Amino acid sequence: MKLVLSPEDQQFREEVRDFLNEHLSADLRRAGALMTSVFADFDAAMTWQRILHEKKGWAAPSWPKAFGGTDWSITRHYIYAVESAAADAPRLLPMGLDMCGPCLIGKGTDAQRAEYLPRMLSGEHFWCQGYSEPQSGSDLASLKLKADRDGDHYVLNGSKIWTTYAHHASHMFLLVRTRSDGKPQQGITFLLLDMNTPGITIDPIISISGEHEQNQVFFEDVRVPVANVVGEENDGWTVAKYLLEFERGGQAYSPRLQVSLDKVRHLAAQGQPGERPIDDELFRLKLARAEVSVRAVEAAELKVMSALSSGQNPGAISSMLKIIGSEASQQVTEMAIEALGSWAQIWQPQALNPATAGNASAIGPVSGVPVLSTYLNTRATTIYGGSNEIQRNIIAKQVLGL
């Protein structure tokens, strides 16, 4: 399948390129290039979000126009993703804009939408997700964080884990246990809370790459208004499944995968002819296989675009995209490690931090600085957002009828 652009879409592509060239500073591009996971540097991401929101209204283009989004076609969304990746634009942080926001648009009350959506767009509010618990990961229905009703409030006790950027967040959307009898899924409620509420403690979790993205969050007698329920009490599982469709299928993997693969080729071509990775036949074979994987992801995404543009529901294809996109990401980062060779063993956080990278001399190729951390971060892509084993179960049930 090939994406053929109309003259109007070609003009839109030029508009996007011109905007990126004008507003993406060298510092923002550096932060985008040094991104080591699906999450960009926090300060750079928020700076770029404010620019997009104030200059163009492009902070959340997938939202309906009535709520501050755009009326772009599916094709234009894809064009924007491709051009942003090619320009090394920092990726906007998804918990509010791509997850909680669409969930509130579809499931929230008028009061909740009026309170939270404009502040998500402007960056005044920054959100984190409270789903996983120490004993409840892929088996999310087993969660135990208690929310006992006390008049017009719930009182929360328990913890959440792997909470990305909780140390930056002003708000959290989370799942709590409001009933213990019956099926586990039938006693879960979806809540919104202010992270400044008394009784919340945040402990950092430092990743193997040395970065602080994850946290464990503890709740001790935390009071949350009943008005902050999204959907109905004890029906949070329905709301959570709706939100997970955005988390699993709401991103286009292939534009950034293609940029990453191009960087692998560049790294592999460094050095003396005959001694470079690109000169090795086996390496070229692996590179070709990675290219096939990336093209397969792109074809699947174009198929989704075609279905959505004609009003169809792609159904379980969001699970398929999560599988092939995350596994192709791992494949490409493995190739990057091999292309970089011994330089990949060097730990140089001063060159990886966007705040200091401009004044730090990289050891080895500059484009190779984020390779090791990206590789380590990408090991988790097949786990978070619902492990790929869970996604295969969804496909087996919904598509194959097993």
> Which of 212, 239, 266 is the last residue in one of the domains?
239
Residue 50 CB partners (closer than 8 Å, separation 6+): 122, 123
**CATH at 192:** 2.40.110.10
Q: Residue 359's pLDDT band (boundaries 50, 70, 90)?
A: low
What is the reported pLDDT for 2? 57
Q: Are residues 372 and 336 in the same domain?
A: yes
Flag whether 115 is in a domain: no
Q: Are residues 86 and 152 in the same domain?
A: no
pLDDT digits (tens, 9 = 90+) for 316-353: 777 888 899 999 999 999 999 999 998 888 877 777 77
Flag whether 111 is in a domain: no
Q: What is the residue range of 85's domain?
A: 7-92
Catalytic residue of the set 133, 247, 301, 338: 247
What is the reported pLDDT for 312? 61
What's the structural domain count of the chain? 3
What is the reported pLDDT for 249? 47
Looking at residues 116-144, what average pLDDT do you find?
93
Flag whether 109 is in a domain: no
Q: Are residues 374 and 269 in the same domain?
A: yes
Q: Are residues 267 and 233 in the same domain?
A: no
Flag whether 120 is in a domain: no
For residue 4, pLDDT over 90 is answered with: no
Q: Are residues 81 and 134 in the same domain?
A: no
What is the reported pLDDT for 279? 95
Q: Are residues 272 and 225 in the same domain?
A: no
Whole-structure pTM value: 0.87
Flag whether 219 is in a domain: yes
In this structure, of 123-127, 134-138, 293-297, the range with the lowest mean pLDDT score is 134-138
**CATH at 257:** 1.20.140.10
Q: Residue 302's pLDDT band (boundaries 50, 70, 90)?
A: confident
Looking at residues 378-401, what average pLDDT do you find?
86
Q: Residue 281's pLDDT band (boundaries 50, 70, 90)?
A: very high
> Which of 208, 239, 270 is the last residue in one of the domains?
239
Tell me how far apart the alpha carbons of residues 175 and 169 are, in angstroms, rounded to a whole number: 17
Flag whether 121 is in a domain: no
Q: Are residues 41 and 136 in the same domain?
A: no
Name the average pLDDT for the chain: 89
Provide the β-strand partners of residue 201: 218
Q: Are residues 388 and 340 in the same domain?
A: yes
Whether 220 is catalytic: no
Q: Are residues 145 and 167 in the same domain?
A: yes
What is the reported pLDDT for 321? 87
Q: Are residues 257 and 230 in the same domain?
A: no
**Percentage of the chain surpassing pLDDT 70?**
93
Flag whether 122 is in a domain: no
335 within 8 A of 282, measured Cβ to Cβ: no
What is the reported pLDDT for 37? 80
Q: Are residues 12 and 67 in the same domain?
A: yes
Buried-exposed string 301-323: b where 16+ CB fall within 10 A, e elsewhere: bbebbeeeeeeeebebbbbbbbb
**CATH at 77:** 1.10.540
Q: Are residues 188 and 316 in the same domain?
A: no
pLDDT digits (tens, 9 = 90+) for 225-274: 999 999 999 999 999 888 876 654 456 788 999 999 999 999 999 888 88
Looking at residues 204-228, what average pLDDT do you find?
93
> Which of 213, 239, 265 is the last residue in one of the domains?
239
Q: What angle in degrees, to the nearest 10, is found between the helix axes of 281-309 and 74-86?
A: 150
In this structure, of 204-218, 263-277, 294-308, 323-337, the range with the lowest mean pLDDT score is 294-308
